[in-house]
Amino acid sequence: MKKLGLCLGSGAWRGLAHIGVIKSLVKHQIKIDYIAGSSVGSLFGGFFAAWQDIERLEKTIQEFNYKKLLEILSDPYLHSGLIKGEKLQAFFNDLLSSCKIEDLPIAFIATATDLLASEPFYFEKGNLAQGIRASISVPFAFTPVKFQHKLLVDGGLTQPVPIGILRQKGAEVVLAVELYTQNFPFQHDIEKLSFLEITRISQTAMLAQIARRDMIKADLLLTPKLDDDWSNPIDLFKKFLDNQATATINIGEKIMDENIDKLFNLLHD
């Protein structure tokens, strides 16, 4: 059987669909040889690569609550970002037992963006929690991660679907999950959009265009159809914490179930 690389794209709360995709792969006993993640894809992909237990990951998400969220985010800095991020990385380290990327049972790459070089940076070794922390560091919200004379922020800015690195590592079949392009063409009432919603749509349009550049390189591309009300950031956090988490996970599982035969044929061709 050919070696499978799983590419988990960026996309904020939509990334819960990644958990569903992995659930389906585990259910159908499909071996994952490599995982590359960007932003939220790095978060869930990294935890699965470390734990190899999708039920544990799903349970951890479902048990997450507002109190824990406030504890993690109560780390104000107000200089290069609203949140310093040290508590977040410590939280990840605690859950991941401070493991190193090179020691993971599944080969894993966390994708960040090097602001100083204006290019992607790939964590292929070192502390897993730090790699994830850099990959999800949305500018303005979190301070950048200083690492090896680099200034690292969210990987989705330059590589929302990091397919190429999987090819370089040896993946013969790449399954990619992309979470931006399904939002377009835009269907909402443009007369009622706030400036914040316009900002979010603009950012998503930019990331969708970058994603289109790379997603054609996948052997099998999944673009789960997810609702997006373009609401404020507080509502986005609530999607992680309320029952929509399970609904989004189920959407990811369903689209992978529907494409499992295609993947099986690619792996055995």
Q: Which of 169, 196, 134, 192 is nearest to 33 (CA)?
A: 169
Q: How far apart are CA 263 and CA 178, in angstroms?
A: 16
**pLDDT band at residue 230 under the 50/70/90 scheme:** very low
Half-sphere exposure of 234 (CA within 13 A, CB side): 0
CA dihedral 69, 75, 77, 78 (to 10 degrees): 30
- From 63-67, 113-117, 142-146, 255-259, the region with the lowest mean pLDDT: 63-67
Read off the pLDDT of residues 45-78 as tens digits, 9 standing for 90 and up. 999 999 999 999 999 988 876 677 777 776 666 5
Q: pTM higher than 0.75 for the full model? A: yes
Concatenating the DSSP letter of every residue in 201-218 gives HHHHHHHHHHHHHHHTT-
Query: Does the structure show a pLDDT above 60 at 180?
Result: yes
Query: Can you tell me which residue has the tokens 């960007």?
Result: 38
Read off the pLDDT of residues 138-147 as tens digits, 9 standing for 90 and up. 887 888 999 9
Biggest CA-to-CA distance, the chain: 53
Query: Can you tell me which residue has the tokens 């950012």?
Result: 203
Mean pLDDT, rounded, for 237-246: 66
How many of the other CB atoms lie within 10 Å of CB of 25?
22
Q: How far is residue 31 from each of residues 62, 165, 253, 262, measured CA to CA in Å?
A: 25, 19, 16, 15
Mean pLDDT, rounded, for 79-104: 85
Of the chain, the percentage scoring pLDDT greater than 90 comes to: 62
Task: Output the average pLDDT for the chain.
Answer: 88
Active site residues: 39, 154
Query: Does the structure show a pLDDT above 70 at 231?
Result: no
Q: Copy the structure tokens of residue 88.
A: 């977040």
Query: Does the structure show a pLDDT above 60 at 80?
Result: no
Q: Which domains does the chain have, with CATH numbers?
A: 4-263 (3.40.1090.10)
Half-sphere exposure of 26 (CA within 13 A, CB side): 17
